[in-house]
Chains A and B, each alone.
Chain A
């Protein structure tokens, strides 16, 4: 069947038309081989613009469409949908990017127009060789796996379960709750966190749709969105052997949380050397235990007269490779300063800070309140702690005085930061997740995809993606649940159509392609000694086709002849 191409040049308001003579481009396209019709329009993506294309397909019998407009990332889907509605295979559409790659980056109208013509002609050449591709759906197992039983994991599991799907929570510790189980009260509301946590835990444990597997870990993950097979190992007690079970789930939520920064990595603060240099988490625990037992003061018998808090320990620190801010320690310090003030009404309480990051709802007000409770905030990042007699001395510059100072203390609390889990790599490789520069798990898009990942069907919740407080953790956990609920509710999911195509006659089974594939979509069929491609796992990245020495594997929609045609038309 001969190609009958329709070419549509978009003005994009003035975005393109400002620098490119769109009418001239349309005119020139008219003369290209196989072009049946060529038009320009102010906004091709608008409803009337799409209508124009659909009418031409029906009336002129077009079988290929080229839209010269913005980046395909913008509107490829829009136009695929449009041509499909008019009865064409959606992969018979070709976008020619004359905005980002032309009008936006050039100033001279004449040469920009010429370049746009080139882009259009190569798109037409390619379009003629496009092959139809099939759209495929896969079924979804109506269950989700949640790795980690902190508040993030619990909240995500609850939303999924409430929506009527099974949720398995795999927690490696003997109890759920994560770090929140070690906190006394929460900023800025000063709620007793344990009560709130208990509600969450009880609801999860009682939920008919939730299975909580404590003392458990994920050993292996197989499969893909919709049908993951997960091996879980459980060891209820040290004396017992680990048992394994297989779970079938359609989606996975990672909620493995964080580790607390190891303060001994900052030897200048004498953590470990001086017993009255403690971390914020240690203070929280003491406060919590004393509150729970209604018992003795967590800070001893009144010998504590001077308390110094040091913020940003292990955060905002390039020397450690922790360049990031830990987001919660400013506020947890303020909270702890408040709790200490309640215990010790007459103590001198000093907080050394660089910036006070009281950014959330009610935070600034809480910071105001704590200062007004006579907590002295001094700007400066202490350099070291040493001993003088039986007292500690924190040495710093007070940058508001512009002077070095020494502050004596009976107790120093280090606001240690939040760092990635030590086993983040393991989880990462189990699920093929990458890590951002700061070492936390990487989201799909830092702005618009905060809980999605590059692996379909795998989502992030809570501090495993980066430090955050309870509020933001809960919101994110619910967000991850929402992402997981989409395939679960629909019951099936559409998978990528542009995948690799392997020619078994050319394949020698060398396996180079499998090494190149980060999605593990390729495996050796040992019987036939050729590779086979899993079309659901394949994401169409094309890495395999460049690796294959025999040219046995190509990427559909980007076949060598299509690409050559594109290139040839411009050289």
Chain B
């Protein structure tokens, strides 16, 4: 039976894995984080249908986790790839969780007792919540096993945590195990699907917006957590108990910007802004909501209709790319030109949401080298042909899925995940048959 390695378990990687596994082939799904799910797990509702993201994602994660043909390797990374299509040999490094996954019941007592409890920024909540060194990234995590963050844990870092580590003392299952070692797993596969996704743009690189300086200037990803019922405010749009009457969204932060070298459009932020504007309207019916934009790229199925709807919900769209944010009293002032008025304007705000773009993962280059792939001018992985072979690469048997190839929304990431799966299935169906590889 053929096997495929899928690197990255966001929605694209999970979908690819499910299709291949459902078709009866073996999948090794390697995910760097402690849980599968990717960015989609962080989202609140999704445009344009307003489906609750975790409600549609969790069942997928559960199917992946329980699929007899899928072997999950979480908290792991690919460190070596050799061979050719039909016979790739892969080395995967499994990082120690310092918790025995077979024993862990996910009761969370370790996290409760961790001496760093509440002192570490939660990546999942984009710094707006805290966690312990022993943690699960989010409650629906798959696998639902605790992990000890080796970069933060006092025991791992200093070899000592109080008398003896309280997490270990407390764990009723005796699962905490600081003797765990890193492990190298050898795999042999016919094909590889790369689905490593994207990083959110770091808005510190646009100092004119005062991100990091003003606590009420947040990113779109932070907004998702703020708005999510499972987020740090249980879905309330509030920051430090400040009353929020005016919300300003700024699009294209870090995109369409030659200055930064990010000349491309990030493809999803127009729509996620529209969605977030809608969520603000829903939660703060009387707030003034303003969106500053350059072009509204509402191109997908149901998008324009959604944009129509949001405007009709009294969201003010103003054409102009704001130049800077400063403070006036305890309010923020967004300075822009309203290009339709042809006049400079100042809009006061209590909350500014930056529609940060999607950028290549920081380690794209390293992974490209490891896999023999190239990256294109904008830094994402290069496909074999941008029009006719969007999921293939120059390396026969290695395919791309999702945002690692370029920004895209969930349905497009899913379609690409399935597309890559089709290519992998073709190869596995043929392995052992007379056809020579590389013909696909």
**Bound pair (A, B):** yes
CB distance from A19 to the nearest CB of B (A): 11
What's the interface size class on A, roughly?
Answer: 35 or more
Tell whether A558 is near chain B: CB-to-CB under 8 Å.
no
Q: Are B425 and A448 in contact (CB under 8 A)?
A: no
From B59, B230, B340, B417, contact of A402 by CB (8 A): B340
- B373-430 interface (Cβ within 8 A of A): 376-378, 380, 385-391, 405-406, 410-412, 414-423, 425-426, 429-430
Tell whether A159 is near chain B: CB-to-CB under 8 Å.
yes
- B93-147 interface (Cβ within 8 A of A): 105-108, 139, 143-144
Q: Are B419 and A163 in contact (CB under 8 A)?
A: no
Tell whether B295 is near chain A: CB-to-CB under 8 Å.
yes
Q: Which residues of B sit under 8 angstroms from A546, Cβ to Cβ?
A: none
Chain B 293-305, CB-CB to A under 8 Å as 1, else 0, gives: 0011111111111
Q: Are A13 and B105 in contact (CB under 8 A)?
A: no
| Bound complex: CA A73 to CA B22 (Å) | 19
What's the interface size class on B, roughly?
Answer: 35 or more
Tell whether A519 is near chain B: CB-to-CB under 8 Å.
no
Tell whether B196 is near chain A: CB-to-CB under 8 Å.
no
- Spot the interface stretch: A60-68, A261-269, A319-327, A561-569: A319-327
Tell whether B311 is near chain A: CB-to-CB under 8 Å.
no
Tell whether A175 is near chain B: CB-to-CB under 8 Å.
no
- Spot the interface stretch: B83-91, B151-159, B236-244, B263-271: B263-271
Q: Are B418 and A447 in contact (CB under 8 A)?
A: no
Q: Which residues of A sit under 8 angstroms from B229, Cβ to Cβ?
A: 104
Q: Which residues of B sit under 8 angstroms from A75, Cβ to Cβ?
A: 59, 62
| Bound complex: CA A47 to CA B103 (Å) | 10
| Bound complex: CA A471 to CA B400 (Å) | 13
- A49-71 interface (Cβ within 8 A of B): 71
Q: Are B263 and A368 in contact (CB under 8 A)?
A: yes
Q: Decide yes or no: A479 and B429 within 8 Å by CB, A15-B139, A189-B386, A316-B304 being known contacts.
A: no
| Bound complex: CA A104 to CA B386 (Å) | 45
Tell whether B19 is near chain A: CB-to-CB under 8 Å.
yes
Q: Which residues of B sit under 8 angstroms from A48, Cβ to Cβ?
A: 105-106
- Spot the interface stretch: A25-33, A286-294, A297-305, A432-440: A432-440
| Bound complex: CA A365 to CA B295 (Å) | 15
Q: Are B19 and A74 in contact (CB under 8 A)?
A: no
Q: Decide yes or no: A364 and B387 within 8 Å by CB, A42-B108, A486-B23 being known contacts.
A: no
Q: Are A163 and B305 in contact (CB under 8 A)?
A: no
From B267, B296, B411, B417, contact of A355 by CB (8 A): B296
Q: Are B263 and A47 in contact (CB under 8 A)?
A: no
Q: Which residues of B sit under 8 angstroms from A368, Cβ to Cβ?
A: 263
Q: Which residue of A lies closest to B429 (CB)?
A: A163
Q: Which residues of A sit under 8 angstroms from B406, Cβ to Cβ?
A: 360-361
Q: Which residue of A lies closest to B262 (CB)?
A: A364
Q: Are B298 and A164 in contact (CB under 8 A)?
A: no
Q: Decide yes or no: A13 and B425 within 8 Å by CB, A362-B386, A479-B419 being known contacts.
A: no
Q: Which residues of B sit under 8 angstroms from A42, Cβ to Cβ?
A: 105-108
Tell whether A242 is near chain B: CB-to-CB under 8 Å.
no
Q: Are A361 and B304 in contact (CB under 8 A)?
A: no
| Bound complex: CA A440 to CA B300 (Å) | 12
Q: Are A359 and B299 in contact (CB under 8 A)?
A: yes
Q: Which residues of A sit under 8 angstroms from B256, Cβ to Cβ?
A: 364
- B151-206 interface (Cβ within 8 A of A): none
Q: Which residues of B sit under 8 angstroms from A400, Cβ to Cβ?
A: 339-340, 342
Q: Are A482 and B297 in contact (CB under 8 A)?
A: no
Q: Are A163 and B426 in contact (CB under 8 A)?
A: yes
- B346-384 interface (Cβ within 8 A of A): 376-378, 380
| Bound complex: CA A438 to CA B436 (Å) | 44
Tell whether B318 is near chain A: CB-to-CB under 8 Å.
no
- Spot the interface stretch: B49-57, B71-79, B278-286, B326-334: B49-57
Q: Which residues of B sit under 8 angstroms from A189, Cβ to Cβ?
A: 386-387
Tell whether A386 is near chain B: CB-to-CB under 8 Å.
no
| Bound complex: CA A6 to CA B55 (Å) | 26
Tell whether A259 is near chain B: CB-to-CB under 8 Å.
no
Q: Are B139 and A475 in contact (CB under 8 A)?
A: no
Q: Which residues of A sit under 8 angstroms from B66, Cβ to Cβ?
A: 78, 81
From A199, A466, A475, A489, contact of B425 by CB (8 A): A489
| Bound complex: CA A320 to CA B76 (Å) | 53
Q: Decide yes or no: A485 and B49 within 8 Å by CB, A447-B56, A474-B389 being known contacts.
A: no
Tell whether B24 is near chain A: CB-to-CB under 8 Å.
yes
Tell whether B308 is near chain A: CB-to-CB under 8 Å.
yes
| Bound complex: CA A450 to CA B417 (Å) | 11
Which of B106, B304, B339 is packed against the most chain A CB atoms within 10 Å?
A: B304
Q: Decide yes or no: A485 and B387 within 8 Å by CB, A48-B106, A324-B305, A357-B299 being known contacts.
A: no
Q: Decide yes or no: A485 and B299 within 8 Å by CB, A74-B59, A471-B387 being known contacts.
A: no
Q: Are A490 and B62 in contact (CB under 8 A)?
A: no
Tell whether B58 is near chain A: CB-to-CB under 8 Å.
yes
Tell whether A483 is near chain B: CB-to-CB under 8 Å.
yes
Tell whether A426 is near chain B: CB-to-CB under 8 Å.
no
Q: Which residues of A sit under 8 angstroms from B305, Cβ to Cβ?
A: 323-324, 437-438
Q: Are B297 and A78 in contact (CB under 8 A)?
A: no
Tell whether B288 is near chain A: CB-to-CB under 8 Å.
no
| Bound complex: CA A45 to CA B61 (Å) | 12
CB distance from B19 to the nearest CB of A (A): 5
Q: Which residues of B sit under 8 angstroms from A478, Cβ to Cβ?
A: 391, 418-420, 422-423
Q: Are A448 and B416 in contact (CB under 8 A)?
A: no
Q: Which residues of B sit under 8 angstroms from A399, Cβ to Cβ?
A: 340
Q: Which residues of B sit under 8 angstroms from A199, Cβ to Cβ?
A: 388
Q: Are B342 and A402 in contact (CB under 8 A)?
A: yes
| Bound complex: CA A489 to CA B416 (Å) | 20
| Bound complex: CA A370 to CA B399 (Å) | 31
Q: Which residues of A sit under 8 angstroms from B304, Cβ to Cβ?
A: 315-316, 323-325
Q: Decide yes or no: A164 and B430 within 8 Å by CB, A323-B304, A478-B423 being known contacts.
A: yes
CB distance from A474 to the nearest CB of B (A): 6
| Bound complex: CA A466 to CA B421 (Å) | 22
Q: Are A448 and B56 in contact (CB under 8 A)?
A: yes
Q: Are B391 and A163 in contact (CB under 8 A)?
A: no
Q: Are B49 and A475 in contact (CB under 8 A)?
A: no
Q: Which residues of B sit under 8 angstroms from A446, Cβ to Cβ?
A: 48-49, 301-302, 411
From A162, A318, A362, contact of B264 by CB (8 A): A362
Q: Are A450 and B411 in contact (CB under 8 A)?
A: yes
| Bound complex: CA A199 to CA B387 (Å) | 13
Tell whether B273 is near chain A: CB-to-CB under 8 Å.
no
From A318, A361, A451, contact of B418 by CB (8 A): A451
Q: Are B412 and A472 in contact (CB under 8 A)?
A: yes
| Bound complex: CA A11 to CA B22 (Å) | 31
Q: Which residues of A sit under 8 angstroms from B303, Cβ to Cβ?
A: 324-325
CB distance from B399 to the nearest CB of A (A): 10
Tell whether A181 is near chain B: CB-to-CB under 8 Å.
no
| Bound complex: CA A297 to CA B31 (Å) | 55
Which residues of A pack against B, CB within 8 Å?
Answer: 12-15, 42-43, 45-48, 71, 73-75, 77-78, 81, 104, 159, 162-164, 186, 188-189, 191, 193, 196, 199-200, 315-316, 318, 323-325, 327, 355-365, 368, 399-402, 436-438, 440, 445-451, 465-466, 470-472, 474-483, 485-486, 488-490
What are 18 contact pairs spanning A and B, CB under 8 A? A13-B139, A15-B230, A42-B107, A48-B105, A104-B229, A163-B430, A324-B302, A357-B297, A357-B298, A361-B380, A447-B46, A448-B60, A451-B415, A451-B418, A472-B415, A477-B419, A482-B23, A490-B23
Apart from A475-B412, A479-B419, A482-B19, what are 17 other A-B pairs with CB-CB below 8 Å?
A: A12-B139, A42-B106, A48-B106, A74-B58, A327-B299, A358-B295, A360-B267, A364-B264, A436-B302, A447-B46, A450-B412, A451-B415, A465-B301, A478-B420, A479-B422, A482-B419, A482-B421
The 4 closest A-B pairs by CB, nearest first: A478-B419, A479-B418, A13-B139, A482-B422
